[in-house]
Amino acid sequence: MKKVFIAEDNQSIARMYRRAFQKSGWEVETASDGEEALGKLFASKDVPDAILLDIMMPKADGFEVLKKIKKSGSALENVPVLAMTNLASLSNGEADLEKVRALGAKDVIIKSQLDPQEVVNIAAKL
């Protein structure tokens, strides 16, 4: 069974993605802020098959979380990360998208432009 880790501070969005992934047969773990995400990811013996990472989160934003994952020296470095944002939350627009890609995200999605099943399909191809 594939595993996905979802770091998303908006609980209704997190539940929506959780349901979509579970319906598609994935095991799901979630975190509601960057610190919780890092704590859970580094404490777990199981490495997820994909990480969905909200860029704008409290305590540690997606940029910081992504940087720590990709420079961790652990198996997490090789896990594909799908960064997620709402267009309105991008302060620097294209510059933020390029930054997240430069930090190692496999792809970036605009949450409002895709339904949850489309996100599952993208994650499955990472």
Helix (H, G, I), strand (E, B) or coil at 9: coil
**Which DSSP string corresponds to 13-34?**
HHHHHHHHHHHTT-EEEEESSH
76 CB neighbour count, 10 Å cutoff? 20
Average pLDDT value over all residues in the chain: 91
> Residue 91 has what pLDDT?
58
Distance CA 45, CA 4 (A): 14
pLDDT in tens, 46-73: 999 999 999 989 999 999 999 999 999 8
pTM: 0.92
CA distance 62 to 44: 19
Torsion sign, CA atoms 79, 67, 109, 11:
positive
For the ranges 35-39, 45-49, 106-110, the lowest mean pLDDT is seen at 106-110
Superfamily of domain 3-125: Response regulator (3.40.50.2300)
Lowest mean pLDDT among 9-13, 15-19, 61-65, 108-112: 108-112
